[in-house]
Structure 1
Amino acid sequence: MSRELTGLNSVLSLQRKLVRTDNSLKAQLKRAERKKQIRSILLILPLVCFICVTFAFPIAEMLYRSVDNNALPKAFPQSSSAIKEWDYQGLPSLSIQQTFMGELKQRYQDKTLPKLANRMNIEVSGMRSLLMKTGRKLAKLESLPQSLEEIKKLDKRWAKPQYWAALKNLSSPYTLSYYLAALDLRYDANGEISAQPETRQVYVDLFTKTLGMSLVITVICLVMAYPVAYLLANLPDKQANLLLIVVLLPFWTSLLVRTTSWIVLLQNQGVVNDLLLWLGITSERLAMMHNTFGTIVAMVHILLPFMILPLYSVMKGISPSYFRAARSLGATPSVAFVEVYMPLTMPGVGAGALLTFILSIGFYITPALVGGRSGQMISNMIAYHMQTSLNWGMAAALGGLLLAVVTVLFYLFNRIVGINNIKVGG
């Protein structure tokens, strides 16, 4: 009996030792995994910081500026609070108007009114002159106007509700007015969304033109790049490498130099016009510069390698055995190419088209130099608001809409590629 108890104790002791050893090994494994995770996080931390500083934060700042309207509520805090009681019917009460006139006088005296007037002029044309004129007159008065008639004497436009409606529409710290303007819309005198006057409807046509030009450029690049990529993928390595160098050669030249070269070629007294006249194709010089045609030609030349390389990378990975198998089953070369080879290249087509389309949407230098007024794209309007009109909110709204378009394109691309992969796998 004692022997059995001794043996049982030995077994239990061995089991406890095994359990302790197993727990110790698990603890060591967890510590090793934790150290590995910490090491991985530390290795990618500089990259994450770089992406945040150069990509995420600027986008967040842009989106914030597109809805930011803190300047006016801070400059006219009492007026912004009081005018919320007005329901767009008739004119605001005398107390509201007096409150605004008092703060308007203060802003004129501390010389902050011009910037605020510029912001309000975006909402209603003529608002800047109205505010500056009224500010000058108020600064000469010892007391504020005591009646609606006295306020009207400062400027007759104060009897029109649309100017007070602009103040009410901008009384909140955040606004959608920039996005509405980017879609050729606005808040009217009743606080409702309505279309801009025809003379100020610019951005929708420009967005449509930009998307249309980008689509045309993408299609032309695809038609030109597909046979080149097929040739690259099926040539012997020596010839393929030489041709690939020719494809990559434009990357060794500055974008500005390439654009300037097209100006030399396409201008009225340029090489292309001289050649057409010499060959007798035309009897007079053609306008190929400062228009949509010149923009498309120059951008196709610049963006063509971005279409060729994704196509080439996909085509290079397609085994020739698929084509030979289709031929052995009785398919003609054209049928085998269309039914077997082309579907396998769709991921490359999608990636190249997406890359080319997105790059062409955001192009700025080439349309600015080659396109002239009729060849301008939405990026040129964004640059105008950033550099000339200094309307950063409008530029941010246009950029935000452009970002939304790109995001939708990425989503559609992922869906289409996923569906194609399922079909190929099936």
Structure 2
Amino acid sequence: MSQSAALVHPKTQAIDLRAKLKKSQRSYKLKSLLLIAPLFVFVLVCFAFPIGTMLTRSVDNPDVHTAMPATTQALAAWNGKSLPGESTYAALITDLASARENGQIGALSKRLSYEIPAYRSVITKTLRNLPDSNVASKQEALIAIDSAWGEVKYWKALKQASSTLTPYFLLAALDHRVDSATGSIVKAEPNQSIYVDIFARTFYIGGVVTLLCLLLGFPVAYWLATLPEGKSNLLMICVLLPFWTSLIVRTAAWIVLLQADGLINRSLMVLGVVDAPVQLVFNRTGVIIAMTHVLLPFMILPLYSVMKSIPSNYVRAAISLGAHPFVAFWRVYVPQTFAGLAAGGLLTFILAIGYYVTPALVGGAADQMVSYFVAFYTNKTVNWGMASALGSLLLIATLLLYSVYGKLTNPNQAR
């Protein structure tokens, strides 16, 4: 009996050990989750929720169906081929009267004017002469006030705008719109097709700034990587110095330097390079110079981290085998820096296309980037849908570039 108990005992002990191990692992995971919980909540509240709200606002369309619920419901079954029935006209009169009492006319007129610019005046004129709900023929009364109520395209536009979700803002950000007559996606009018050019300008400035940062940052990073440790650390402070200065202060300093009576123009005139001051500020030249200065450290640091890990004896070995020093550098050393080049270039480009302060202060009207128009629609015109649509497209471009950046900086993740 005791012998049987002795044989069972090791198994029981192993089961107890496994149970204790699982309990210990659960306790460790719980403590880990509790430690990262504040960070998770912070990211969720301050990052994920605002971005999710922005993405939602780009397709949210509450104005018409909130202000005109009865008309929206009546138009749901409308075939769109002929004028709607008398009940729809009656619902329109009721909704317009209710919207005026609730202070919703401004938002309603603004949203409908996106579909047809003349809709705002139609709503205003109708409200001034709004017929009584007891009138015999609501249809004839409204058409008598404004002939637009007798046109099918105005009703199609109203039905199109009454949906709770709309592609209007995203399409407008790509210089397209939905034709209210046919329902197909068409190009916007030439006087409204500005956003593709703005995105092209944004990517162009970002590309030029990235290229200049690469041309300036590569030799600096190489020099820092080849210097002794003490000197390299001392000079690295100069690279990191811009991070210790406010962005607005640095931008204001460039305005002082680049202005007509600034230090740079004075120096050029003293040296005889130019006879009159050169326009270097409030144009694209000033934007590119200031942004290059601000973003240069973001190019140098990834390059330096990669170059520091490259053994110097590779190039020496190539030279000892008969290669020209430049050929050895170009064919042996430079390919080993591709990861740093790509990471620094993508990081700089991602930051450049989202810049707002520097182009707004140093650039002119034709040099503003997408971020300026996001701020304009948010603060000036309070058009949240358009601001969110532009921000969403810029976010999508940034995420695509960031995914490439992540693969280049973490090659093992792609495997």
TM range (shorter): over 0.9
| Residue of structure 2 in register with 1:105 after alignment | 97
Question: Could you tell me how far 1:304 is from its partner in structure 2?
Answer: 0.5
Q: Tell me the residue number matched to 2:48.
A: 56
Matched, 1:247 2:235: no
1:358 aligns with 2:347: no
Instruction: Measure, in 2, the Cα distance between the counterparts of 1:420 and 1:339.
Output: 25
In the alignment, what sits opposite 2:157?
A: 166
Q: 1:421 to 1:45 in 2, by over 3 A?
A: closer
Aligned to 1:4: none
2:227 to 215, 232, 235: 235
* Other structure's SS at 1:67 match: coil
In 1, distance between residues paired with 2:413 and 2:65? 53
Conserved in 2, the CA contact under 8 Å of 1:184 and 1:204? yes
Deviation at 1:239, TM superposition (A): 1.9
Q: Identity percentage over the alignment?
A: 43
Where do residues 4-403 of structure 1 align in structure 2 (5 Å cutoff)?
A: 9=1, 11-138=3-130, 141=132, 143-144=134-135, 146-190=137-181, 191-403=183-395
Cα distance per residue 1:65-95 (max 9 Å; x no partner): 1111133212211211221333443433333
- Paired with 1:303 and 1:23, the residues of 2 have a C-alpha distance of 59
Per-residue CA distance 1:374-414 (angstroms, 9 max, x = gap): 11000000000000000011111111101110111123334
The 2-side partners of 1:236 and 1:17 are apart by: 65
Counterparts in 2 of 1:148 and 1:265: CA distance versus 1, 3 Å: same
SS in 1 for 2:37: helix
User: Quick one: which amino acid aligns to residue 69 of structure 1?
Assistant: N
**Cα distance in 2, alignment partners of residues 227 and 119 from structure 1:** 54
Query: d(CA) in 1 for partners of 2:217 and 2:118?
Result: 52
- The whole-number CA distance in structure 1 between the counterparts of 2:364 and 2:123 is 36
State how far apart, in whole Å, the 2-side matches of 1:110 and 1:47 are. 42
Return the alpha-carbon distance in structure 2 between the equivalents of residues 155 and 284 of structure 1: 61
CA distance in 2: counterparts of 1:420 and 1:277, whole angstroms: 54
SS of 1:374's equivalent in the other structure is: helix
Alpha carbons of 1:209 and 1:368: their partners in 2 closer, same or farther (altered >3 Å)? same
1:419, 1:47 → 2: CA distance?
Answer: 27
**Change beyond 3 A, Cα 1:90–1:277:** farther
Unpaired stretches in structure 2, ≥5 consecutive residues? none
Q: TM-score, normalising length from structure 1?
A: 0.91
The alignment partner of 1:85 has SS state of coil
Closer, same or farther: CA 266–25 of 1 in aligned 2, 3 Å: same
Q: Is the deviation greater in 204-213 or in 112-121? A: 112-121
CA distance in structure 1 between the aligned counterparts of 2:82 and 2:43, rounded to whole angstroms: 52
In the aligned structure 2, how far is the partner of 1:239 from the partner of 1:358? 31
Q: Distance in 1 between matches of 2:198 and 2:239?
A: 32
Q: Which amino acid aligns with 2:225?
A: A
How many residue pairs get aligned? The number is 414
> Alpha carbons of 1:327 and 1:221: their partners in 2 closer, same or farther (altered >3 Å)?
same
Secondary structure, aligned partner of 2:323: coil
Structure 1 CA distance, aligned partners of 2:187 and 2:230? Answer: 61
Aligned-partner SS, 2:81: coil
